[in-house]
Every structure is written in C-alpha cells, then in structure tokens.
Amino acid sequence: MIRFRRLSRPRRRDGGYVTVVVLTFAGLMAALVAATLNVARPSVGQALVNIDDMQADGLLEAGISTAGLALYSANRPVQSIDGFAVPLETGAIRLTIKAEAGRIDINAARPEMLSGIYAAAGTGALKPSEFAALVLDWRDRNSRVRPGGAEREEYAALGLDHRPRDGPFLSLEELLLLPGMTQEDYQRLLPYLTVFNPLGDIDPGSAEMPVLLSVPNMSESEALGIRSAFNSPDSTQRERNQLIRPYQRYLTADGSDVFRVLVEARLNNGYTKSVEAVLMPGFRRIPYHVLYWRVLDPPEVPS
C-alpha cells in the first residue's frame, strides 16, 4: 500500500540554480535523444516519424527527471525550482511545480467541499449538492441513495451501461461516468481536483482561489490573506497555524511530498509540447515515482 506523508512546509530559499547532478542528468538525456535521432535519421522519413515530436519527448523526459531529482534527491525547496528554465542542446524546458495538496481529493473530500467546488467552478448543469451526492454515492460501499445521488438501480433506470464502483475513483476521468456530468463541467473542475491527496487537507499556499472559496464560510478576503501568508518567506509556522485555526477541519499548515509538475518543452525551431505529471517519493534507490502522466493539448491558435 502506498503511504503518503506530510512534510513541514519549507521556508523560501532561492538558490537560483538546480544541483549539478540534476543538470548533468538533463544534459545526458538531451545527448541521448540527439544520438538516437542521428542514428535513426535515415529511416525517419520512410517511417514518417516526427523528429520534432521525438526531440520534444526527450526534453519532457529530461524535465520530469530534473524535477524529480531536484525535489527528492537534492531536496531543493519547491520555490527554488518552480518556474526554472533549463537550456539544453536541442531546446529548453521550463518547470512549474505545485504541491498536490492544493487540490481537492474526490476520494477524501467532505460533502461540503465537493458542493463548494462545484458551486465555484461548475457550469450549473447539476446542483452543487447533487454533484457532491453523486461523488459520494460512487465512492461509498453501501447502496443507500443520498438525496440527489444515484446507486446501481438509478444508473440502470437511466439506461447507463455502467454502475457506480462503490469504491474510490481511480482517476478524475471517471467523473464523466456520473449521471448528468457534462464534458464542460469536467474541464472546468479538472484544475482543482485530484485523486492524489488522500489525506484530504488543503495546503493554502498551493491552492487556487476556487479551492479556498470551497471552504465553508471562508470569504474572498480571508482566502487572499491566508494564501498570501502561506507564500510569504517571512511568515512563521505558528502564524500560519493561527490563520487557519477556524478552518482546521479543511486546511493544513503542513506541506506535502506529492507534487504536480508541468514541463513545457520548446525546441530551437519553435516546436512546443507540454506534459503534466504527479510525482511522489520513491523507495530505497529509486528517488521518486510517477503516479500520473498526461500530454497536454497544444493551446488553440485564434483564427
């Protein structure tokens, strides 16, 4: 069983660099990709392989490895590598890193947090309470239907081929299996949800405003103040604890050792590709594990 642990939130220490071991690894990755392409180039045209895509994949792999080694081998604070750009032989990578505890875990969240995030970010196709009930009925192990929810009989009556799992969500994509859940709802909720924060508490320093505003009775001014304090290098652990005391049922002043990493790769010719991954600490000689990996769609170009 995978065990997640809390880490004390690191104080900001901007070193302005990543460690030599990280850069060395990234350089080796880039050299390996370049060598592979040089060997394969005569057959690339025949096989219609996109060289740009292969080179970008090499940079993305190097970016994830750079982030993983910096976080878990070199123990660099997140603030010192978030936004870091690394130039390599075939292009450059840029890292964006946030603690996964800034997201609401649909397997651990309380009903009021689920209804709160839908009210803050959903389309209104469902009532916030219906969204919460559907999520809870999917993940609980009983057959009792909550008001606005659905169990096996309700799924069958709607003519759906699937039934609620009566167990945890394995991915966020399974939200699309909920009755009444639209693709637009899913896309709007996606940035604020996860299945990789099983302790359930929210880290205000990593949370977006819709997540903080999902906390019952939290005002926008309070959310802004708490988030600002958590991201200030001058705030103390005691001050952060005091700020979240009224909301300690939902928020935590401890950090997280699970991180979501966005890597943006840009080749020297302008070709771009991005990937999003979730990393957690490894075991023994393996510094980290990749829990999730998704290639992001390129941004739409205005017509």
Q: 83-99: per-residue pLDDT in tens?
A: 999 898 889 999 999 99
Q: 127-171: per-residue pLDDT in tens?
A: 999 999 999 999 999 999 999 999 999 999 999 999 999 999 999
| pLDDT given at position 16 | 43
Question: Would you list the DSSP string of 19-78?
Answer: -HHHHHHHHHHHHHHHHHHHHHHHHHHHHT--HHHHHHHHHHHHHHHHHHHHHHTS---H
CB 195 within 8 A of CB 106: yes
Give residue for tokens 């009930």. Answer: 133
Q: 219-241: per-residue pLDDT in tens?
A: 999 999 999 999 998 999 999 99
Dist. CA 90–CA 32, nearest whole Å: 11
> How is residue 166 annotated by DSSP?
S
The number of angstroms, rounded, from the C-alpha of 64 to the middle of its chain's C-alpha atoms is 13
pLDDT at residue 2 is higher than 70: no
Q: 170-189: per-residue pLDDT in tens?
A: 999 999 999 999 999 999 99
Can you give the pTM of this predicted structure?
Answer: 0.82
Give residue for tokens 């104080």. Answer: 11
- Identity of the amino acid at 244: I
In this structure, the chain runs to a length of 303
